[in-house]
Structure 1
Amino acid sequence: MALTSAVANAAAAAAAAGAGKKAAQVQLQAELNTDDEWNKFLTRDGLLVVDVYSEWCGPCIGMVGNLKKLKVELGGDNLHLAVAKSDTIECLKRFRKRSEPTWMFIAAGQLLNVVFGADAPRLARTIEQELKNEELAKKGERERPKRAPHELTPPEQEVADAQEKLQRERKEREVAAVEAARLARREARAKRLETHFADVCPALVMPHAQKHLRKISDALEPHGVIVADKCPTLLGKDGARILAVEEPELGNEATTAAIAERPSLALLLKKLPDKEGDVIELCRRALCGDGIETEDGAPPKKVPAEELRADSVPGVYVPADRHQRAAVLDLLFPKMIASLIEPPTPAEPPHIAMMFGAWQRCAVLNVAANLKTRMLRYGFYADDNVQEPRLLCKNIDQYELRPEKDYCETIVMMIAVGHAEPALADPNDIPTEGPPEELMALGPLHVSEDAVVGSEECGRFFPPGYSEPEPKPKPKSKKKKKAKRQENKEDVSDEANPDAVQSTESVETNEAGGEEPEGDGEADADGDAEGEGDADGEEAEGEDADEQHALDKATSPPPPTPH
């Protein structure tokens, strides 16, 4: 009995020792999740080595064994290890959304060094060197760098500057591309309208100046221009915004309020047939004084635009060029324009391509449904080839009908990252720059570098005509085998064509005799049709069975690659 008790006590002691050893191992690496835990850890004496990670990626597990070995062999009580979650610690926010292992070296509250990557030999050398530097600093033989943990080290600053320069260049390219597309649309619209409205020019008389219409028409008459049409119009906020973009002078608060809240008078000015010159230049010269030269010393003659001005609100507005003319014609006389020319097509906003595995389709489309109008198009493709994509189908319903799916199949989305006309859009309707964070959290396989590259890539994934509805196939009707009688459509006399009489008589004889081949033919046709239907039914059932047993390889992630 005593022997048994002794053995039990020894086992308990060994277990306690093992538990104590395990507890000691756990304490070798502290876990920091809050600002308080972070600040408390910084007060420790010695060299602090912190593995900074993001929640979606996790800390670098492969380096834990090496770090603990280094602590035991080199650091002892002078080396402290920790893992810190950047998502919940404000000081580490610059490391968020990164998957690269990040190691911070801190001593006495100052940031000594930052190392990126899971390079075990390099990390060991850095720890050994920083431990020596810390010993020298404690002896007063070396001065620690004065750098707070939230500040960037020189290598980090170089990387940040390079990234900032790259982002700036990308932004400049995107802005230039948006402006070039805008000018191309305006030029195309101006050319289209000139085919019917080359000799007309619109004008807008402000609410306070409508009673002076006679003065405006009198000023136009000497220049060979008449008022061909006029109509009151309330432009509202959207119309006022369009005019403010075309003419900045109309963008002041008083003018915008007047145009948006009170009716203005839209004029359609027309050049007389015998008058030479551009109608826009003639109208601007008559109403705004453009191009009028005065004699030396003589005061300039007042024009209607100046005479009818009320404080900061001009009396009349006339487009300055053919692009403005086209935009103002579409705004003031939409019905007249639509009767002769198709309305302008809505411009596509700057966009990028985002690619995911087809097995993520449900999650991706659920997220995209909450992004309002940012998802412009999507489709399913055979693989992840961006240069030569192979389209499988254009929507989720068609994809689900596919009997076989594969891991390599992808879903590609065209995502708006801006607005085609930012100056005309409501600030609340302009999407944020860059890809949506909700989609980035799903781990895309490919994201366009910027909107310029995205436009080229989306041009390959979604070529012109992609969104046009596909023609529906006509339903196939079952044809029955019936004997067809050949009718004689020509009116030929019996005497002139005795063979026709003989043919007719033979047909009548066959009908009188109750010829059965025709009826049998119909019965056979019906039977054949029924047989075909049965065969089709069996075939369909077989296909359904095959579909049920088919492996849907695109409903789950691809298997991990063996190492």
Structure 2
Amino acid sequence: MALTSAVANAAAAAAAAGAGKKNAQVQLQAELNTDDEWHKFLTRDGLLVVDVYSEWCGPCIGMVGNLKKIKVELGGDNLHLAVAKSDTIKDLKRFRKRSEPTWMFIASGQLLNVVFGADAPRIARTIEQELRNEELAKKGELERPKRAPHELTPPEQEVATALEKIEEEKKVKEAAAIEAARFARREARAKRLEMHFNDICPALMLPHAQKHLRKITDTIEPFGVLLADKCPIVVGKEGAKILAVEEPELAEPNAMAALIERPSLALLFKKMPDKEGDIIEMTRRALCGDHLAEDDDARKKLPSTELRESNTIGLFVPKDRHERAAVLDVLFPKMVSSVVEPAPPAEPPHILIMFGAWQRRAVLSMAGLPKVAARLLRYGFFADASIEEPRLLCKNVDQYDQRPEKEYCETIVLMIAVGLAEPELAEPEDLFPEGPPEDLLTLGPLHVSADHVVGQEECARFFPPGYSEPEKKPKSKSKKKKKRRHASKEENAEEAPDRTQSTENPEAETNGDTENGEEGEENGETEENGEDGTDSEENGEQHADKATSPPPPTPH
């Protein structure tokens, strides 16, 4: 019995050893997830073929069989295969945002070639060629290129240069669009305030300069300008930021601290009745010497020069109508708001991101993250993936979930901010990286705007003006009262005005004839549920929710 058991155990051990050997033979490619594993793999002799992948786009499964066949038939111990995760390996950083298969060919720690795409014949030819070159290199008949794995190959460099040029052109276009939008906002505000404040010019005296107010009044009178009003004001942090955008000298630490913590003096100048000309130009000629040359000695006697203290500006006068509008909003908010409505908030640069509606739970969950939620401006559900002619279905997920029938082609579209309208006014913690949120991109969107210039055009089609305004609830339809057969003509004539009143005021219907009201409700329910008054669910009809799971795979 003991001998039989020993033989059985020996047979099992031999079988296990054989299976382990077989598994070792089948395991032909290494998995590289860290820098240490990567550098250790690079020390192997022979040709190294690495399939580079990222977290959201795995390695190329279709090529595994071909590569193993090539290794067995051609490479042997001179060919080593691996899959490497670019997200966690520093040398592969440049491949992290690529979705197409990437193949690296390495020998003796030097990068030989990089091939993109799952072109099996091309990869096979490249392996065969590189294996031959490796044999020649070992014999000293061929010199391998000296290029570290993190460096770009010549084809990659060409692509990178082209992409850099495209990116630079994109940034120039986006910067121009931002500046144009800013100019349009400032121009609109300036025109609006000019209707009421075209003959006045505001100015600001910082705390250390207020004792020289008499010098200001004496200087402006010969130029036909009068001091119409003055009032102390603590500008505060937000106001100081706005003024610092208009006058960079106000952004200096001393000036900024004074505006935030201490009372400044807001001035309001007005030209004399018998004087003609632009009030801003007249005021600046008097106080800032805009008409004088830079080296003119008369500049030393100007208030704008004499009121400086330790290189800190003492007097600020707006240079143009745009600055005047901004300064009026900050220094005289009550006066402005009494005749002009507040300026609408500026809309930040934005793009459009589209997903399948079946992804709505994951998309809205990701969009609810703190770092993404502040960037979600609007969203809605649409009938299909058309960018040119969108067809709105509903504006929120609750309305969409109530739809009895859903189709695979339906989409959820998000309007996402990719920047701030006025980043110079934002706090550091409110800033976020440029471009679409990475969290949303990992879900595989159907469409992402090329840039925020294109995104603005696309979002204008999906979210036209008034999209976010609350929807008006439709008035309930009034139900006509049945005429009583026994009623006389006089009673019918008296009831006619009542029916008219009931139609105009739906609430009156509720308090009207109880019998007729109940009959109307019963009839209304019958019409809504069908001719027989039964609900479609009671008849066993169920609508499939085609937007809660991915669309069926396309047959090959």
Taking structure 1 as the reference length, the TM-score comes to 0.87
Deviates more, 1:66-75 or 1:540-549: 540-549
CA RMSD of aligned residues (A): 2.8
2:440 equivalent to 1:447: no
Query: Aligned-pair distance for 1:26?
Result: 2.6
1:486 equivalenced with 2:518 (yes/no): no
Q: Equivalents in 1 of 2:539, 2:348: separation in Å?
A: 44
In structure 2, do the counterparts of structure 1 residues 404 and 309 end up closer, same or farther at CA, with 3 Å as the change threshold?
Answer: same
The answer to whether the aligner puts 1:110 opposite 2:110 as a matched pair is yes
Q: Displacement, 1:541?
A: 5.9
Is 1:37 the counterpart of 2:37? The answer is yes
Any gaps of 5 or more consecutive residues in structure 1?
A: 489-521
Q: Are residues 186 and 473 of structure 1, via their aligned partners in 2, closer, same or farther at CA, if it must alter by over 3 Å?
A: same
Matches within 5 A, 1:399-414: 399-414=400-415
- CA shift at 1:87, angstroms? 2.0
**Counterpart mapping for 1:163-562 below 5 A:** 163-292=163-292, 302-370=301-369, 371-481=372-482, 484-486=491-493, 525=516, 528-529=519-520, 531-532=522-523, 535=526, 542-543=535-536, 545=538, 549-562=542-555
Paired residue type of 2:311:
S
Report the Cα offset of residue 276 of structure 1: 0.9
Identify which range, 352-361 or 271-280, moves more after superposition.
271-280
Higher mean C-alpha deviation, range 361-370 or range 317-326: 361-370
Q: Which residue of 2 aligns with 1:100?
A: 100
Measured after TM superposition, the shift of residue 94 of structure 1 is 1.7
The equivalent residue for 1:59 is: 59
Question: CA 1:534 to 1:191, structure 2 compared with 1: closer, same or farther past 3 Å?
Answer: closer
What's the secondary structure of 1:62's corresponding residue?
coil
1:383 Cα deviation (Å)?
Answer: 0.4
Q: Which residue of 2 aligns with 1:509?
A: none
CA contact (8 A) 1:254 1:312 kept: no
Q: Distance in 2 between matches of 1:212 and 1:548?
A: 86
Instruction: For residue 311 of structure 1, give the secondary structure of its aligned residue in structure 2.
Output: coil
Question: What corresponds to 2:503 in structure 1?
Answer: none
Corresponding position of 1:496: none
State the alpha-carbon separation in 2 of the partners of residues 458 and 68 from structure 1.
49
Q: Quick one: structure 1 residues 543 and 331, their matched pair in 2 at CA, closer, same or farther if it must change by over 3 Å?
A: farther
- Deviation string 1:427-464 (CA, Å, 9 cap, x unpaired) is 32222100001111111110000011101111111111
Distance 1:456 1:530, change over 3 A: closer
What CA deviation, in whole Å up to 9, does each residue of 1:365-400 have, x standing for no partner? 121122232011111100000111111111112111
Structure 2: which amino acid aligns with 1:417? V
Q: Which amino acid aligns with 2:337?
A: A
> Aligned-pair distance for 1:141?
0.9
In 2, Cα distance between equivalents of 1:335 and 1:62: 70
* Closer/same/farther in 2, CA of residues 531 and 397 from structure 1, 3 Å limit: closer
Quote how far apart the aligned CAs of 1:404 are.
0.7
Give deviations 1:309-332, integer Å, cap 9, x for gaps.
Answer: 212122211111111111101111
* TM-score, normalised with respect to structure 2: 0.88
Would you say the 8 A contact 1:378–1:394 is kept in 2? yes
Describe the shift of the 1:527–1:66 C-alpha distance in structure 2 as closer, same or farther (beyond 3 A): closer
C-alpha distance in structure 1 between counterparts of 2:67 and 2:359, whole Å: 37
- Where 1:562 maps in the other structure, the secondary structure is coil
Post-superposition offset of 1:298 = 7.1
Secondary structure of the residue aligned to 1:460 is helix
Greater CA drift, 213-222 or 448-457: 213-222
Q: 1:356–1:412: 8 Å Cα contact kept in structure 2?
A: yes
Would the aligned equivalents of 2:199 and 2:271 in 1 still touch at CA under 8 Å? yes
Question: Partners in 2 of 1:63 and 1:189 — Cα distance?
Answer: 62
In structure 2, the partner of 1:131 is 131
Cα 1:124–1:537 change in 2 (3 A) is closer
Residues 103/275 of structure 1: CA separation in 2 closer, same or farther (3 Å cut): same
| SS in structure 2 at match of 1:113 | strand
Name the residue aligned to 2:69: 69
Measure, in 1, the Cα distance between the counterparts of 2:57 and 2:282.
Answer: 68
What percentage of residue pairs aligned between the two structures are identical?
A: 72
The change in CA–CA distance for 1:284 and 1:35 in structure 2 (over 3 A counts) is same
Task: Give the Cα separation in 1 of the matches to 2:539 and 2:317.
Answer: 71
CA distance in 1 between partners of 2:222 and 2:415 (Å) = 55
Partner of 2:79: 79
Distance 2:514 2:350 in 1: 63
* 317-326 or 461-470: bigger deviation: 461-470
Contact 1:374 1:431 in 2 (8 A): no
* Contact 2:299–2:305 (8 Å) recurs in 1: no
Deviation at residue 477 of structure 1 after TM alignment: 4.5
